Structure 1
Amino acid sequence: MASPSKVGPAISTEVYLNNQTDEDLSTFDKKDWYGTGNQPLNVPSHQTRYFQHLADSNVGSSIAGSVFVIKQNIKWVVAWRNGNNEDNKVYTEITTDSPINWDNINAQLKKATNHAEASKLGFKSTLDIDPTSNKPNLNAKLEEA
């Protein structure tokens, strides 16, 4: 049996939301499967916002997602899985779904890697997370495609 690649439980996920578009982003939805954090209400055009998502102390995992409205009905999904004794993973999509299908996002996240990209509706999303840190930086960037 292979040994786990991580060194113990997650502490937190350091989330950096980099908006390189000409649109101001506003919060649409969020999901905390494990852990908690105060995501920003908005991410102004050409700015970066940061928040810390603290891991659930009982489970040792920081697993969550944030959704921002780009414009009209276009949304940017940023999701991460910083789980106990597993590699860190990220998932992203650009969607017009309403409501957000969190079950599908969770399923995609479970089989994801530490890098994710999505291009749709004139926008491109790129996410990267350190695969083995228990307090990783998640760098999420949205730009015009």
Structure 2
Amino acid sequence: MGFGAALLTQGTLQNNSNDSLSLPVFLDWSGSGTCPNVTPAKLSLTFCHNANAQGAGSKGGVVYTVGNGGIKWVIAWSNMENDANKVYVDITDAAVDWSAVKLSLESSSSNPSPVSKNGYTTTATIDADKNLPSFTATLG
């Protein structure tokens, strides 16, 4: 698609649920960053994920446990050089299969369909074609 070098991805996590979220897993496929360890109920937190040193991209994922930990909120993003930006979200009560998440992310879009499971709904959007995109993922 001819987009330039990716520099970083800014993520906003909106926890509209009545449960706090705890971060058990942060995965870097390309680039690096950190994410808030706890997101209290009804609050939003922002983080940055930097592209790798070569500027080829920022691609990563996080899993938050919801409440007592039985439900997991999965968020993954891709901001790679010469490719459209993508985001993926899911809600699961099973172990997270990162290979499957990565495949789902690759076939996702900048505005995937909402996911409703286990009493929660999640949505996400990412700027489709910016080198410094922002994404927002919401759990409610």
TM-score above 0.5 = yes
SS in 1 for 2:45: strand
SS in 2 for 1:18: strand
- CA displacement, residues 12-35 of structure 1 (integer Å, 9 cap, x when unaligned): 000000000110100021211001
Gaps of at least 5 residues in structure 1 are none
Which one-letter code corresponds to 1:89 in the other structure?
K
1:36 equivalent in structure 2: 32
- In the TM superposition, 1:1-145 aligns within 5 A as 4-6=1-3, 8-58=4-54, 60-72=56-68, 73-98=70-95, 100-116=96-112, 117-143=114-140
- After TM superposition, the runs of 4+ consecutive aligned structure 1 residues lying more than 6 A away are none
In angstroms, what is the RMSD of aligned CA positions? Answer: 1.0
Displacement of 1:50 in angstroms is 0.7
Displacement of 1:139 in angstroms is 0.6
Displacement of 1:71 in angstroms is 2.6
TM-score for both structures, normalised by structure 1: 0.92
Displacement of 1:57 in angstroms is 2.0
Between stretches 101-110 and 53-62, larger displacement belongs to: 53-62
TM-score for both structures, normalised by structure 2: 0.95
Which one-letter code corresponds to 1:76 in the other structure?
W
Gaps of at least 5 residues in structure 2 are none
Q: Please tell me whether the aligned partners of residues 5 and 87 of structure 1 are also in contact (alpha carbons under 8 angstroms).
A: no
Q: Please tell me whether the aligned partners of residues 7 and 131 of structure 2 are also in contact (alpha carbons under 8 angstroms).
A: yes
SS in 2 for 1:49: strand
SS in 2 for 1:90: strand
